[in-house]
């Protein structure tokens, strides 16, 4: 119940927030006016004037877009100092007409105390206030009293609220990751604000916020080192396209757009590699041996004189389709391994092929398509330069004639050159970093962030290191969740070869996502992965036990379908994930879809937006859901040599409830689970956790 003091504090904060939004509205109006005036041509625009107008339009619309993102909540915090000073913290900075700060950007150094102050180390902070907004309306205030020294009676009466962090983690999932600027915790803030140089490895278990910390770090670095990073941009590499759609609104909501989101399969310009392949082929392609195999193949083809026909795509296609060629350049592989790599000419590329294409391009040059695109872009730029110069010449001569000004010919040409340079649309304005980087295989980013970094193969890392020769990187992952045989087993083993003495580690130890009841089960699975590993500590408990149900194989689909229907009724607006084995994904997705209306599956955004969706272990990495139902965990364990790691991923995706339905005997790793009584659709069935 909200008391009178709470009402008064909300009214006080509402008055201030309203004044901030008034200033924001004025800033938006100015941007709109600038946009309306942003053209250089006459009333009837030529093509060149229209192009210039578009360039300026991009510039000002970008600013307008940045201002619009804060409509979801401009201000979220306030700090009251022991010295009676106070200031407000928000998603952007705002100043009054005398340039005095009205709102501090969350990334500014002075804002650190909002995230790091504790009762043991208050850092000069007496009270930290969390302000909760619904649009432009203040709906609640939560206070943390860090130092009661000098607190008078009036100040004590104004204290109010509950913990903002727990309110945030307990809310329904939306299907998209959100920013956490209002609830960043101390150990997270230290990582976000860590220095730019070198490679920072963030190791953390499930639910510790690795991904969201990495994305906020990107926003912080772009704020603190904008001059250094804005021209080269930041690359964020995620494990799959579903994950990228899940996170794609985080950085725009923080006002940052100079960021490229990509999977490994999309890092080769002009090619999107999404085809599937057998684990044996994926393992072989990820091995560093392939770098030498490709080098031998290039030397052999050049020795035989096909030099003019040596495009990376053609080279790799021949390698997989021509057994004799592969045997000649890869004598280390046996017949079974060579057979695993065999592929018909023209077959679709897989993500594991991309690093090999990149390796080949380093040796023989870019693909024919890339070369053609580069030549086309160069010719188009030269043509645009010529058109712009001619347009400027016409404008200058017309103006000189109308004003009856006489100049020497050389003076006119110099003046035309100066005006053309001043009004020329810049590449940085007419195209985005994402567009330029996507078309250039040799693009070097200012900073690279890799999520689920433990999944990348040695060949993937060779390719990625070329994208960032300065070795300014943030790698986030959890070695216990590695699901591929070629993935990272040791950060030191990986990084000492690329950046010896220039990498450091940080660890996230607190689990904000997963309730302690579910983490107890996850801890058993983790112990089976590696007895020396310890799960992160959960900050909350729901009092609801995760449960299991054992059924016959013939009854599995019906039992899972009934549990989905029952769980959707319990969840209300929450989201349910049904996690199934890789090897049974198509079978179970189709069968369950026939029984449960509206159940989503696939790789599109529908699996994020739907109330319930079927996903395999690869798809759910990095994602979270209100409730999770695991179907046939035994097959998840058997599908891969890293099956226990896959199961660990599956049981740690839920923020509220976990249920397991198994065909046959419950795996040993899940023996802690309670047994559900009654039918699968009953109140105690799988999914009640």
pLDDT exceeds 50 at position 83: yes
**Angle at CA of residue 376, ends 372 and 379, nearest 5°:** 140
Count CA within 13 A, CB hemisphere, residue 384: 19
Tallying the residues shown for the chain, one arrives at 689
Q: What is the C-alpha to C-alpha distance for residues 656 and 544, in angstroms, rounded to an integer? A: 8
Closest C-alpha to 200, from 414, 431, 471? 471
Give the pLDDT mean for 514-537. Answer: 92
What global pTM score does this model have?
0.73
What is d(CA 288, CA 285) in angstroms, rounded to the nearest whole number?
A: 8
- Which residue has better confidence, 656 or 41? 656
DSSP conformational letter for 130: E
* pLDDT band at residue 181 under the 50/70/90 scheme: low
Contacts of 136 (CB under 8 A, 6+ apart): 17, 18, 21, 71, 74
Q: Nearest Cα to 3, choosing from 174, 157, 232?
A: 157
Query: How far apart (Å, rounded) are the C-alpha atoms in residues 376 and 370?
Result: 10
The residue to which tokens 């689970």 are assigned: 673
pLDDT surpasses 90 at 200: yes
Contact 362, 466 (CB under 8 A): yes
CB-based burial label for 227 (10 Å; 0-12, 13-18, 19+): exposed
Q: Are 635 and 583 in contact (CB under 8 A)?
A: yes
**Residue-averaged pLDDT of the chain:** 82
- Top pLDDT among 256 and 607 is at 607
Which phi and psi (to 5°) does residue 146 adopt? Answer: -105, -25
Per-residue pLDDT band at 58 (split at 50, 70, 90): very low
How far, in Å, CA of 637 to CA of 649, rounded?
A: 12
Assign 188 a pLDDT band (cuts: 50, 70, 90): confident
Phi first, then psi: give them for residue 406, nearest 5 degrees.
-110, 125
Mean pLDDT of 587-605: 91
pLDDT at 33 over 80: no
Residues 397/398/404/410 CA torsion (nearest 10 deg):
0
Residue 174: predicted pLDDT:
59
Least confident of 200-214, 251-265, 627-641, 647-661: 251-265
Retrieve residue 290's tokens: 């392939």
pLDDT at 538 over 80: yes
Closest CA to 441 of 291, 297, 266: 266
| Residue range 344-365: mean pLDDT, rounded | 92
Given a cut of 90, whether residue 151 has pLDDT beyond it is no
DSSP state letters, 261-274: EEEGGG-STT----
Percent of the chain with pLDDT over 70: 78
Residue 231 has pLDDT above 90, yes or no: no
Instruction: Kindly tell me if the per-residue pLDDT of 120 is higher than 50.
Output: yes
pLDDT band at 495 (very low <50, low <70, confident <90, very high): very high
Task: Point out the least confidently predicted range of 60-64, 152-156, 208-212, 335-339.
Answer: 60-64
- Does the pLDDT of residue 109 top 70, yes or no? yes
Does 18 have pLDDT greater than 60? yes
For residue 157, the model assigns a pLDDT of 58
CA dihedral sign, ordered 117, 119, 125, 127 = positive
The DSSP secondary-structure symbol of 600 reads B
| C-alpha to C-alpha distances, 540 to 163, 165, 514, nearest whole angstrom | 12, 11, 8
What is d(CA 141, CA 122) in angstroms, rounded to the nearest whole number?
Answer: 20
Q: Residue 420: phi, psi to the nearest 5? A: -65, -40
Rounded distance, CA 389 to CA 467, Å? 35
Q: What is the pLDDT of residue 356?
A: 97
Give yes or no for residue 565 having a pLDDT over 90: yes
Judged by average pLDDT, the poorest of 2-11, 602-611, 629-638 is 2-11
């Amino acid at each position: 119940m909200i008391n009178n003091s709470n009402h008064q504090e909300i009214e006080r904060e509402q008055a201030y927030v309203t004044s901030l939004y008034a200033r924001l509205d004025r800033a938006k109006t100015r941007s709109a006016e600038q946009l309306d005036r942003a053209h250089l041509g006459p009333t009837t625009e030529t093509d060149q004037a229209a192009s210039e107008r578009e360039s300026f339009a991009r510039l000002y619309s970008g600013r307008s877009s940045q201002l619009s993102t804060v409509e979801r909540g401009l201000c979220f915090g306030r700090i009251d100092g022991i010295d009676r000073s106070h200031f407000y913290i928000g998603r952007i900075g705002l100043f009054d007409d005398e340039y005095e700060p009205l709102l501090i950007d969350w990334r500014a150094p002075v804002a650190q105390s909002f995230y790091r102050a504790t009762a043991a180390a208050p850092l000069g902070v007496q009270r930290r206030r969390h302000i909760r907004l619904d649009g432009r309306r203040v709906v609640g205030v939560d206070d943390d009293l860090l130092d009661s020294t000098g607190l008078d009676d009036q100040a004590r009466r104004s204290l109010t609220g509950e913990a903002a962090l727990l309110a945030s983690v307990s809310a329904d999932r939306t299907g998209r990751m959100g920013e956490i600027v209002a609830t960043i915790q101390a150990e997270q803030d230290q990582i976000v604000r860590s220095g730019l140089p070198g490679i920072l490895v963030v190791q953390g278990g499930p639910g510790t916020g690795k991904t969201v910390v990495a994305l906020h770090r990107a926003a912080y670095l772009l704020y603190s080192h904008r001059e250094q990073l804005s021209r080269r941009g930041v690359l964020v590499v995620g494990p799959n396209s579903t994950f990228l759609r899940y996170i794609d609104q985080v950085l725009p909501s923080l006002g940052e757009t100079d960021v490229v989101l990509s999977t490994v399969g999309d890092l080769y310009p002009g090619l999107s590699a999404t085809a599937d392949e057998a684990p044996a082929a994926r393992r072989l392609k990820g091995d560093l041996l392939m770098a030498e195999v490709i080098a031998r193949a290039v030397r052999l083809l050049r020795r035989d004189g096909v030099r003019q026909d040596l495009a990376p795509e053609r080279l790799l296609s021949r390698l997989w389709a021509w057994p004799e060629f592969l045997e000649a350049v890869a004598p280390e592989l046996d017949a079974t391994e060579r057979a695993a790599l065999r592929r018909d000419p023209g077959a679709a590329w897989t993500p594991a092929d991309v690093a090999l294409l990149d390796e080949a391009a380093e040796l023989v040059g870019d693909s024919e398509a890339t070369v053609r695109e580069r030549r086309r872009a160069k010719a188009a730029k030269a043509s645009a330069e010529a058109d712009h110069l001619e347009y400027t010449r016409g404008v200058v001569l017309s103006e000189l004639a109308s004003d009856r000004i006489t100049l020497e010919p050389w003076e006119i040409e110099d003046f035309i050159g100066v005006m053309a340079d001043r009004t020329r649309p810049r590449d940085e304005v007419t195209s985005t970093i994402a567009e330029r980087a996507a078309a250039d295989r040799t693009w070097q980013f200012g900073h690279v962030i890799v999520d689920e970094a433990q999944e990348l193969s040695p060949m993937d890392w060779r390719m990625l290191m070329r994208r960032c020769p300065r070795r300014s990187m943030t790698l986030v992952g959890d070695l216990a969740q590695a699901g591929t045989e070629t993935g990272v087993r040791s950060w030191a083993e990986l990084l000492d070869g690329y950046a010896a003495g220039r990498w450091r580690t940080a660890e996230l130890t607190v689990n904000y996502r997963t309730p302690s009841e579910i983490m107890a089960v996850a801890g058993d699975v983790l112990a089976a992965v590696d007895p020396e590993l310890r799960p992160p500590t959960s900050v909350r408990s729901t009092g609801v036990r995760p449960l299991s149900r054992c059924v016959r194989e013939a009854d599995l689909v019906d039992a899972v379908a009934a549990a989905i229907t029952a769980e959707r009724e319990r969840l209300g607006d929450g989201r349910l994930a049904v996690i199934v084995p890789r090897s049974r994904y198509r079978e179970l997705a189709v069968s369950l879809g026939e029984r449960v209306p509206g159940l989503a599956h696939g790789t599109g955004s529908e699996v994020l937006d739907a109330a319930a969706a079927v996903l395999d272990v690869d798809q759910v990495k990095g994602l979270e859901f209100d409730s999770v139902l695991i179907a046939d965990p035994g097959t998840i364990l058997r599908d891969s040599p890293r099956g226990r790691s896959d199961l660990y991923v599956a049981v740690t995706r839920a923020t509220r409830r976990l249920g397991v339905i198994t065909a046959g005997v419950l795996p040993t790793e899940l023996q802690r689970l309670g047994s559900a009584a009654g039918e699968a659709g009953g109140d105690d069935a799988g999914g009640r956790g």
